[in-house]
Amino acid sequence: MAAVGDARTRRATVREDAAKERDANAVTRAAITRHGGTSALVNPARVDSTPADPALAGSAQVDAALADSALADSAQVDATLAASALADSAQVDAALADSALADSAQVDSALADAVPVDSALAHLPLPDPAFRADVLAGLSRRPRAIPARWFYDRRGSELFEDITRLPEYYLTRTERSILSAHAADIASLTGPGRAVVEFGSGSSAKTPLVLSAVAPSAYVPIDISGEFLRDSVAALERQFPKLPIHPIEGDFMHRLVLPAALANQPRLGFFPGSTIGNMNAPAAVDLLRAMWETLGEGSKLLIGIDRIKPVNVLIPAYDDAQGVTAEFNLNLLHRINRELGGTIPVSAFRHVARWNDTEARIEMHLEATRDVSFSVDGRPFAISKGKTIHTENSYKYGPRDARLLLRSAGWTPIGEWTDREGLFGLILAEARAIPAAP
Ligand code: TRP
C-alpha cells in the first residue's frame, strides 16, 4: 500500500501545481480585459454557464472525458488526473474506480510504475480539462469550432495587446477618442455622484477617461482575477486618491451583489471594447439583463458597440498587414500542440477573416491549406484542404440594431456618440422597467 500512499501524495502535489498554473492562466486571461475587455469570453466558469455555449464541459462531461480517455496507460492516468479540475480526491478515486484499473492491486502496481510522471510534467504546461474537452468536441463537430476564450494564454494575451495598437484595428483608438471628445456631454447626461461599475474591469486607457469625466462617488471594478484587480486598483488609487474603490472578484455574466456601501448611490455601468459583439444575440441579451439586475432600475450603462461598415475597413482590422491577427489566431493551434500533446502541422493552416453579411459578423477561421491529419491527446483527426476551424465572431451593429439590442434587455438608450466616420458607437442607456402595455 505504500505505493498508493506515495502515488496519492504525488497526485496531490501535482494537483496543487495544476491549481497554481490555472491561477497563472486566470491572471493572463484577466490581463486581456485591460485592452479589449474580453473577459466574458475567456473565463471558463462564466462561459461554461452561458447558454450560447452549451457544448462546454460541465464536470459530468469532464468525468466522461476522463472515463473514456486512454486510462490504460498509467502515466497518462496520473497526468490526466493531475491536470484535471477534479481536485476533490473522492472524484479522482471514483474516476479511477470507473476505469479498467478498478482492482486495487492493479491500481497499486500501475501507480507504482508511474514514477517518471513528475519529471515529465515539470517542463510541460498542465492541460486544463475544459480546454481538452472543448478542443476534442470542437474538432469532432461540423462545422469545426473552438470557443474563442482559449485564445488567451500568455502569448495570446500579448498578441491581443498588439492587435489593439495596430493601424488597421480602429476599435480601441476610436472608442478612446469618442470618450475623450464627448466626456463633458456624457457627464451631463449621467450626472455626477454615480458609482461606476466596470464589467471586465480596468481597461487601463479608458477607465481614467470615464472616471475623470463623470465625478463618480465610487468605482467598482468587476473581474474574475483577484490578482489583476489588486494591480489595477493600486494604479487607480494613485491617480484618484479620494475615490472609494470597491473591487469585486467575480463573474459578471451572472447577477452580482454590489457592496453595501453602494446601497443608496445611483450607478453607472461601463462596458467598453465592443466585447458585447463577441457574443451572439441571445448571449448578449442574457448578459445585458444580468447587468440590469446587478445595477438595478434607474441605473445607467455606457457601452461600446462596433458598427457595421464597409468590408474593406472591417476585414483589415481582423487581418492586418503585419500578420499579428494571423499569429494570434494560429497561436491557438500552437497552444493545442503545447498543452494537449497535439501534432497539428500549424504551417498547413492559414488565418482567414470573413464577413458574414447574413449574420452581420466578422468570422475568424483557421483554414487547412492541404489535407492534414494529426492527433490531439492521442485522438486522430483529419481535415481536408479548404475546410476550416471557426475560432471567433465579432458581431457588428448598425445604430438601430445596437439600440434594439439594448432595449431587448430593458436598457433604454438616452445618448449616443460616434466618431466623424461613424466607425464605432458609444451608447448611454438607462435601466427602465419593461412596460406591460401598450
Ligand atoms: N471585441 C473586440 C473585437 O471584436 C476584441 C476581440 C475579441 C478581437 N476577439 C478578437 C479582436 C479577435 C481581434 C481578434 O474586435
pLDDT in tens, 57-72: 333 333 333 333 333 3
Is 436 a member of any domain? no
- Give the number of other Cβ atoms within 10 Å of residue 432's Cβ: 15
Does the CB atom of residue 275 touch ligand 1 within 6 A?
A: yes
Cell digits of residue 168: 488597421
Is 36 a member of any domain? yes
pLDDT of residue 393: 98
Burial (CB < 10 A; 0-12, 13-18, 19+), residue 142, is exposed
pLDDT of residue 78: 35
Which atom of ligand 1 lies at the shortest distance from residue 274's CA? 1
- Asked if 304 and 419 sit in the same domain, the reply is yes
Q: Has residue 42 got a pLDDT over 90?
A: no
Lowest mean pLDDT among 187-191, 231-235, 359-363: 231-235
Pairing of strands 267-271, 195-199: parallel
- Asked if 379 and 277 sit in the same domain, the reply is yes
Sheet containing 349-356, strands listed edge to edge, beginning at the edge strand earlier in sequence: 144-145, 388-395, 361-368, 349-356
Give the pTM. 0.73
Q: Which residues lie below 8 Å from residue 276, measured CB to CB, with a gap of 6+?
A: 284, 287, 288, 303, 305, 405
- Asked if 271 and 368 sit in the same domain, the reply is yes
Is 437 a member of any domain? no
pLDDT of residue 124: 58
100 CA → ligand 1 middle, Å: 44
Pairing of strands 411-418, 424-431: antiparallel
Summarize the chain as % helix, strand, coil (round to 5). Answer: 50, 20, 35
- Asked if 54 and 154 sit in the same domain, the reply is no
Is 221 a member of any domain? yes
Residue 138's identity, in one-letter code, is G
Burial (CB < 10 A; 0-12, 13-18, 19+), residue 434, is exposed
Determine the Cα–Cα distance for residues 287 and 303; give it in Å rounded to an integer. Answer: 12
Give mean pLDDT, residues 309-338: 98
Write down which residue in 122, 151, 181 finishes a domain.
122
- Asked if 92 and 175 sit in the same domain, the reply is no
Mean of all residue pLDDT scores within the chain: 78
Q: Indicate the top mutation candidate among 29, 33, 38, 163 to test ligand 1's pocket, ranked by most ligand atoms within 8 A of CB.
A: 38
Which atom of ligand 1 lies at the shortest distance from residue 362's CA? 4
- Asked if 225 and 77 sit in the same domain, the reply is no
Q: Could you read off the pLDDT of 394-432 as tens digits, one per residue? A: 999 999 999 999 999 999 999 999 999 999 999 999 999
- Asked if 225 and 95 sit in the same domain, the reply is no
Q: What percent of the chain has pLDDT over 70?
A: 71
Lowest mean pLDDT among 73-87, 237-251, 255-269, 283-297: 73-87
Of 155 and 94, which is predicted with more confidence? 155
- Asked if 18 and 164 sit in the same domain, the reply is no
Is 67 a member of any domain? yes
Q: Has residue 201 got a pLDDT over 50?
A: yes
CA 373 to chain centre: 29
Pairing of strands 300-306, 349-356: unpaired
Give mean pLDDT, residues 309-332: 98
Write down which residue in 76, 103, 122 finishes a domain.
122
297 CA → ligand 1 middle, Å: 30
Lowest mean pLDDT among 85-94, 113-122, 153-162, 211-220: 85-94
- Asked if 111 and 89 sit in the same domain, the reply is yes
Q: In this structure, are residues 253 and 224 in contact, taking their beta carbons and an 8 Å threshold?
A: no
Write down which residue in 98, 122, 146 finishes a domain.
122
- Asked if 268 and 413 sit in the same domain, the reply is yes
Q: Indicate the top mutation candidate among 151, 309, 390, 394 to test ligand 1's pocket, ranked by most ligand atoms within 8 A of CB.
A: 394
Is 438 a member of any domain? no
185 CA → ligand 1 middle, Å: 28
Does the CB atom of residue 126 touch ligand 1 within 6 A?
A: no
Of 201 and 329, which is predicted with more confidence? 329
Task: DSSP for 399-422, please give it.
Answer: HHHHHHHHHHTTEEEEEEEE-TT-
Is 127 a member of any domain? no
Distances (CA, A) of 335 to 120, 127, 135, 183, 341: 18, 10, 11, 41, 9
Of 43 and 363, which is predicted with more confidence? 363
- Asked if 102 and 140 sit in the same domain, the reply is no
130 CA → ligand 1 middle, Å: 22
Q: At what angle do helices 2-31 and 154-164 cross, to 10 degrees?
A: 0
Of 268 and 48, which is predicted with more confidence? 268
CATH number of residue 145's parent domain: 3.40.50.150
104 CA → ligand 1 middle, Å: 50
- Asked if 80 and 185 sit in the same domain, the reply is no
Q: In this structure, are residues 145 and 138 in contact, taking their beta carbons and an 8 Å threshold?
A: yes
Determine the Cα–Cα distance for residues 206 and 31; give it in Å rounded to an integer. Answer: 14
Q: Look at the chain and report how many structural domains it folds into.
A: 2
Is 56 a member of any domain? yes
Tell me the residue range of the domain where 381 lies.
Answer: 132-431
Q: Has residue 116 got a pLDDT over 80?
A: no
